[in-house]
Amino acid sequence: MKSLYVVGDIGGTNSRFKILYKEKNNNFHSLFMKNYKTSDFKNFEKLFSKLRKDFEREFFEVYFFEVGLFGVAGKIDSKKFNLTNLNFEINLKKIEKNFNSLKFVNDIEAIGYYVLDNSKKTKLILTSGTGFGKMIIKDNILINSEGGHQRFIVENDFDYKLLNFLKTKKNEVYLEDVLSGRGVENIYEFLTGDKKNVLEISSLIYSNNHCMSSFQIFFRYFARFAREFCLDVLCDEIYLSGGVLFKNISIFDEKKFRYEFENNKIFKKYLKNINIKILSSDDIGILGLVKKLG
């Protein structure tokens, strides 16, 4: 019976898994990878059951799952919790029997493992997908936050009008109401009065001016709040991640992003020296979890 290791990135839209085994030299070798649409399942128990069945259909030998390490888009505060932006339950008591060791971490913490190195630089990680996440790495320590649920603050008339529009939909407006896939949808609806999902908006960026404008506004807000978060922690590097970013990287204008990011008279010189890196892959969380296993 071979012992296997399972890592997974459980998001509000997609769930990605990788099953690995440890070689004699202690290196990990990938054996099986599978992606699922998270909303197709009521809870993690059913999702993991599907993963196991798909795995056993391909490999006929009996395996034991030594370690399960999963990043989830939600706050982990008990043995039973839900994803932040999806009614999807994770009950550790119902699944821990499948593993010798089981651990859940926040999904942005999984990205933090990927970014983590031995330097003493203060790093800021910002990720935009189904929701918006923020993490700080200081002295090689990962510091979680709920940055996506900070209030959306206005700077000009456009912001004020957008805020008032969003308040017709909900009483409290958070950053992830503009800095996420849902945020792009909100911006598009504000501009046009019509509703489209973020995938449709993305597919029409080169044929519909409002779709293009929605993403340009999204990137402007991303740069602005990256600036504010950067000043808050006085970081040395910023890492940008998430599906909304890398799936639309073709229209990401680095010059415009940096212009908005550096738009601060007092700290412009400091902001100019900040290194901004883009993590342009949807497997960064998985890679971070594999790195943590090692």
pLDDT digits (tens, 9 = 90+) for 10-48: 988 899 999 998 887 888 889 999 999 999 999 999 999
pLDDT single digits (tens) 230-246: 999 999 999 999 989 98
Of the chain, the percentage scoring pLDDT greater than 90 comes to 76
Taking 80 as the threshold, does the pLDDT of residue 60 lie above it? Answer: no
Nearest to 148 by CA among 85, 217, 76, 71: 85
pLDDT single digits (tens) 182-227: 999 999 999 999 999 999 999 999 999 999 999 999 999 999 999 9
Taking 80 as the threshold, does the pLDDT of residue 63 lie above it? Answer: no
Q: Partners of 30 in the beta sheet?
A: 20
Secondary structure letter of residue 3 according to DSSP: E
More confident residue, 240 or 62: 240
Judge whether 294 and 116 are in contact, CB under 8 Å.
Answer: no
Domains and CATH numbers, the chain: 2-111+284-293 (3.30.420.40), 118-263 (3.40.367.20)
Structure tokens at 269: 């010189």
Over residues 50-65, the mean pLDDT reads 84
**pLDDT computed for residue 145 by the predictor:** 84
**pLDDT computed for residue 112 by the predictor:** 95
Structure tokens at 293: 């296993």
Judge whether 152 and 173 are in contact, CB under 8 Å.
Answer: yes
More confident residue, 75 or 210: 210
Secondary structure letter of residue 41 according to DSSP: S
**pLDDT computed for residue 78 by the predictor:** 80
Over residues 131-151, the mean pLDDT reads 90
- pTM, entire model: 0.89
**pLDDT computed for residue 43 by the predictor:** 95
Structure tokens at 65: 């799952």
Average pLDDT, the chain: 92
